[in-house]
Structures are given as C-alpha cells and as structure tokens.
Structure 1
Amino acid sequence: MSEFQRVLQESLIWTEGLAAIISIIFYKNAKDSYWKYFSIYLIVMFLSEVFGKWGGNLIEYSKPIFFNYFVIPIEFLFLYWLYASKTFKKPKLFYIVSLLYLLSFIPNEYFFGAGKIIFSFNYTFGCLILMILVIMEYYRQINSSEILHFNKNKMFYINLGVTLFYIGTLPFWTFFNLLSKYPELWNIYFNYFLMTGIIMYILFSISFIWGKQSS
C-alpha cells in the first residue's frame, strides 16, 4: 500500500467518524422519524471500522468473519430497508431482496474461497440488488416534485453516495482476483474505492445538515 493510500484509508475512517458525530448532533431532529436509525447505523459502522482496524490489538479475532458475516450484511440489509421499506414504502420488497441476499451466502460457502476480507460473489450479488434499488430511487426522484428541491432531499445525497461507492466499486470487488494480476489497474480501482468512500460519508453528513427530515 502506498503512502497516498494509507492517508486515504485513515481519512476514510475519520470521515465515517465525522458522519457519525454529525448524525448525533442532528439526532434531535430525527428522533421522531425513521432517520434516527440512519444515525445509529452510521455510529455502528464507524465503531465497526475502528474495531476492524485496531481491535486485533485488544483481542484475537478473524477479520474476514467479522466483515463478511457482520459488517457487510448490516450495510446491505440496512440500505435495503431504507430504500425498499421506507423510501418506496414496500416492506415486502425489503423482505424479498433481503432473503435473496442472505441466500447468496449458500453458493458463496460451497463454490468460492473463504478467508478473504470480502467475499466477491456475495458482495457482488448484494451490490447488484442495491443497484436496482438505486435506479428505482433515481426514477422516483426524477418523476416527482422532489427533483425541484433536491438540495433538501436527504435521499438525493444518500443515493448519490451509494452510487459512487457501492455501484462504482462493483467491478473492483467482482474482478478482484483478476485485477490483482495488474497492479497499476488494481491501484487505480483501490484509490477510487477509498476516495468514493470518503465522498459517500461526506454526502451522508450533508444529508443531515441540508436534508429535510421526514417521518
């Protein structure tokens, strides 16, 4: 890892922390709506990243198990809930996509190698589901009056952040093993992964500051 990538990686963690702190500051505006869970989500993600980076100094644990079976599933399941159940108001859609995502662990266990920090198949499948929800959200925004006041729409910032990070890095994790054979290309994608992660959490922070709270 280059020095530039180390700086980006450190910045990503502390940007997550910034988003968590801002969500706490604005929590009083969200406590009576489902957005309070977004605040809790950001806090949990920050603490998980901190534990993932420094937890090994305190206790012995498996980082692949921690991320693949705890952190990443929480990320996807929460975002599915936010999009499907709350934004689209389709709880059944949330249950369907969540079940499909959880079922993707089965072929992952049997046909793909274990011990990786991120399971490529499982992550790819989760991102594909998320990409469908993201496209649906863009379509919803474009075809509603919300587009006239997008700067006050929390989901505008969240959707943009998710697009840049999760959807934008989909090829990186899908073809991770293949890209690892081409260091220059791998480094470009890895830099993009870190930079868009920072941008995403900045956009999440902005969603609390500028976005209008809704119940």
Structure 2
Amino acid sequence: MTEFQRILQELLVWTEGLAAFISIIFYRRVKEQYWKYFSYYLILMFLCESVGKWGEHFFAYSKPAFFNYFVIPAEFIFFYWLYAAKSLGRQNLFYTLSLLYLFSFIPSEYFFNTKKIIFSLNYTFGCLLLMILVIMEYYKQINSSDILNFSKNRMFYINLGVTLFYIGTLPFWTFFTYIIKYKEIYSVYFAYFLISGIIMYLLFSISLIWGKQNS
C-alpha cells in the first residue's frame, strides 16, 4: 500500500465518523421519520469500520468473517429497504431482493473460497441487485415533477454516492483475483475505491444537512 493510499484509508474511516457525527447532530430533524434509521445505519457503519481497524488490538476475531457475514449484508439489506420499501414504495420488492441476496450465500459457501477478504459472488450479486434499484431511483427522480429541487432531495445525494462507490467498484471486487496480479491497475482501482468511499460518506452527510425532511 502506498503512502497516498494509507492517507486515503485513514481519511475514509474519519469521513465515516464525520457522517455518523452529523447524523447525531441532525437526529432531531428526522427522529419522527424513517430517516432516523439512516442515522442508525451511519453510526453502525462507523462502529463496524472502527472494529475492523482497531478491534484486533483488543480481542481476537476473523475480520473477513465479520465483514462478509455481517457488515456487507447489513449494507446491502439496508439499501434494499431504503430504496425499494421507502423511496420506491415497493415493500415486496425489498423482500424479494433481500431473499435473493441471502440465497446467494448458498453457492458461495459450497463452490467458492470463503477465506477471501470479500466474497466476490455475494458482493457482485448484491451490487447487481442494488444497481437495479439505483436505475429505478434515477428514473423516478428524472420523471419527478419536483426535479428542479433535486438539491433538496436526500435520495439524490445518496443515489449519487451509492453509484460512485458500490457500482463504480463492482468490477474491482468482482475480478479482484485477477486485478491484484496487475499491480498498477490494482493500485489505481484501490485508490478509486477509497476516494469514492470518502465522497460517498460526504454525500451522505450533505443529504442530512441539505435534504428536506419530507424528501
């Protein structure tokens, strides 16, 4: 890892902390709405990232298992809920996508290496399902009568952040086994992974600050 990547990695953790801190500051705005769960999510993600960074100094645990079986599924299922059930108003779609994602662990357990940092099959499938929701959300926003006020729409910032990070890094984790063999490509894409993560959490913070309560 280069010095630049180390700086980005540190910055990513503290950007997540900033988003969690802002979610606490603005919690009173959303405590009567479903957006309060977005605040809980940001706090949980920062705590999980903190465990991933410093946890091994205090207790023994498997970092790959922690992220693959808890953190990443929590991320995907939360976004399926936020997009499908809340923004798009399609509760059944949320249940369907969540079950499909969870079922993807079955072939992953039996046919793929489960000692990887990221389970490529699960992450790829989870991202593809999320991509469907991202496209649906863009379609909804473009066709909204309130499109001129997009800057006050929380989902605009969240959707942009999710696009840059989850969709943008999809090839990186899908073909990680092959990309890591080419150090220059790996180095550039890993830097993008960190930068896009920083931007995503900054956009999440902006969504809480600028977004309307009823958006």
- TM normalised by structure 2 equals 0.99
The residue that corresponds to 1:211 in the other structure is: 211
- 1:116 positional shift: 1.2
Query: Gaps (5+ residues) in structure 2?
Result: none
Matches within 5 A, 1:104-183: 104-183=104-183
The residue that corresponds to 1:10 in the other structure is: 10
Question: What is the identity, as a one-letter code, of the residue corresponding to 1:173?
Answer: W
The residue that corresponds to 1:33 in the other structure is: 33
* CA distance, structure 2, for counterparts of residue 128 and residue 99 of structure 1: 14
* CA distance, structure 2, for counterparts of residue 100 and residue 152 of structure 1: 33
Matches within 5 A, 1:77-92: 77-92=77-92
* CA distance, structure 2, for counterparts of residue 19 and residue 161 of structure 1: 13
The residue that corresponds to 1:54 in the other structure is: 54
* CA distance, structure 2, for counterparts of residue 86 and residue 26 of structure 1: 20
* CA distance, structure 2, for counterparts of residue 129 and residue 68 of structure 1: 17
Regions of 4+ moved over 4 Å: none
Matches within 5 A, 1:59-78: 59-78=59-78
* CA distance, structure 1, for counterparts of residue 208 and residue 122 of structure 2: 30
1:12–1:194 CA contact under 8 A, matched in 2: yes
1:146–1:153 CA contact under 8 A, matched in 2: no
SS in 1 for 2:117: coil
- 1:66 positional shift: 0.2
1:101–1:126 CA contact under 8 A, matched in 2: yes
* CA distance, structure 2, for counterparts of residue 38 and residue 26 of structure 1: 11
- 1:111 positional shift: 1.1
* CA distance, structure 2, for counterparts of residue 9 and residue 115 of structure 1: 22
1:154–1:207 CA contact under 8 A, matched in 2: yes
* CA distance, structure 2, for counterparts of residue 45 and residue 9 of structure 1: 15
Query: Gaps (5+ residues) in structure 1?
Result: none
Structure 1 stretch displaced more, 110-119 or 150-159: 110-119
What are the Cα deviations for residues 19-50 of structure 1, in whole angstroms up to 9, with x where unaligned?
00001100000000000000000000000000
- 1:145 positional shift: 1.6
- 1:51 positional shift: 0.5
- 1:146 positional shift: 2.7
